[in-house]
């Protein structure tokens, strides 16, 4: 019998065709984090049981732009940068599971297929999108400097519709990057059964945290943030009611594995004959 290889699909004779190489995965980049308060009920409706709202500030949300360069352990992607550079935007809230608090990604958009499938493995609900974030410069006039008064723009679009617009202005250095996205992540990994009968063949609650984290230059600032409507998005339900704080930070982190907290085991299905073509 032929043996196929690869961490993710497609698996092949050598494994080279796999969309995602095996962990560990390493990330370096810049993150713009804008924290605000939304309707706590709108956050709670995105927390499936057994997750519960956070004890304090349950309506706190962070929207994050991340400009990443990533690679596997070999680092080969760095010499073929189309496979290492991508942008993503995600919304994070905090929640509680068995008395412990976690951060949870509510929505996320990314502009590369490998980053999307890599996120699906981790439980991130990644969708395809188009994200842009102003990059700082050290020479010339085509960008802000990382100093007080530096101004950044950030956008997200999907299906040809602008979904989020933001501006950020540096007011000074910062020792932190907020509190909403500062806990271990907790996610669901779901895959509907092939029978499409409403059941899931994969139903897990998982947690994860990076390692070898490094922080570079960090700044805080003021921001403006607005959400737009779309027939296939629900961002307006999480519209800002009050701004908290904004942060820009250089960050590096690695990821190897997570932990399964809860798994729903599907009932055993008797063998069936394949349908006729």
Query: pLDDT tens digit string along 2-18?
Result: 899 999 999 999 999 99
- DSSP-derived 3-state class of residue 219: strand
Residue 274 pLDDT = 60
Q: Assess whether pLDDT exceeds 60 at residue 190.
A: yes
Residue 268 pLDDT = 73
Q: Assess whether pLDDT exceeds 60 at residue 277.
A: no
Mean pLDDT of 195-199: 94
Residue 84 pLDDT = 98
Residue 245 pLDDT = 98
Cα 268 → chain centroid: 33
Domain residue limits, the chain: 25-185+211-254
Residue 2 pLDDT = 84
255: its two tokens: 């990821």
Q: Assess whether pLDDT exceeds 90 at residue 75.
A: yes
Instruction: Write down the mean pLDDT value for the chain.
Output: 96
Mean pLDDT of 86-107: 98
Bridge partners for 223 per DSSP: 168
Long-range CB pairs of 119-122, under 8 A, 24+ apart, other chains included: 120/189, 121/8, 121/20, 121/189, 122/185, 122/187, 122/206, 122/208, 122/255, 122/258
Q: Assess whether pLDDT exceeds 80 at residue 82.
A: yes
**The domain 25-185+211-254 belongs to what CATH superfamily?**
Acetoacetate decarboxylase-like (2.40.400.10)
Q: First-to-last CA distance in the chain?
A: 24
Residue 1 pLDDT = 74
173-182 pLDDT per residue, tens: 999 999 999 9
Question: Cα separation of 269 and 170, whole Å?
Answer: 58
Q: Assess whether pLDDT exceeds 80 at residue 76.
A: yes
Mean pLDDT of 171-200: 96
123-147 pLDDT per residue, tens: 999 999 999 999 999 999 999 999 9
């Amino acid at each position: 019998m032929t043996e196929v290889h690869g961490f993710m699909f497609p698996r092949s004779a050598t494994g080279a065709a796999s969309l995602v190489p095996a962990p560990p995965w390493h990330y370096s980049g810049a993150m713009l984090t804008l924290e605000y308060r939304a309707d706590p009920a709108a956050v709670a409706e995105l927390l499936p049981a057994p997750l519960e709202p956070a004890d304090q500030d349950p309506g706190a949300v962070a929207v994050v732009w991340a400009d990443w360069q990533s690679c596997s352990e070999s680092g080969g992607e760095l010499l073929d940068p189309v496979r290492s550079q991508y942008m993503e935007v995600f919304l994070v809230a905090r929640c509680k599971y068995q008395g412990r608090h976690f951060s949870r990604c509510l929505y996320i958009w990314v502009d590369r297929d490998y980053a999307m499938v890599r996120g699906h493995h981790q439980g991130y609900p990644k969708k395809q999108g188009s994200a842009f974030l102003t990059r700082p410069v050290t020479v010339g006039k085509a960008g802000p400097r990382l100093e007080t008064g530096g101004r950044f723009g950030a956008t997200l679009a999907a299906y040809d519709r602008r979904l989020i617009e933001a501006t950020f202005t540096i007011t000074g250095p910062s020792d932190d990057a907020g509190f909403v996205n500062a806990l271990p992540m907790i996610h669901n990994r779901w895959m509907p059964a092939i029978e499409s009968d409403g059941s899931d063949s994969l139903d897990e609650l998982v947690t994860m945290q990076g390692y070898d984290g490094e922080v570079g230059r960090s700044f805080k600032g003021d921001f403006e943030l607005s959400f737009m409507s779309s027939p296939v998005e629900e961002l307006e339900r999480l519209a800002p009611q009050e701004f908290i704080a904004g942060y820009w930070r250089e960050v590096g982190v690695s990821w190897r594995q997570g932990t399964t907290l809860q798994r729903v085991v599907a009932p055993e299905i008797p063998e069936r004959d394949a349908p006729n073509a």
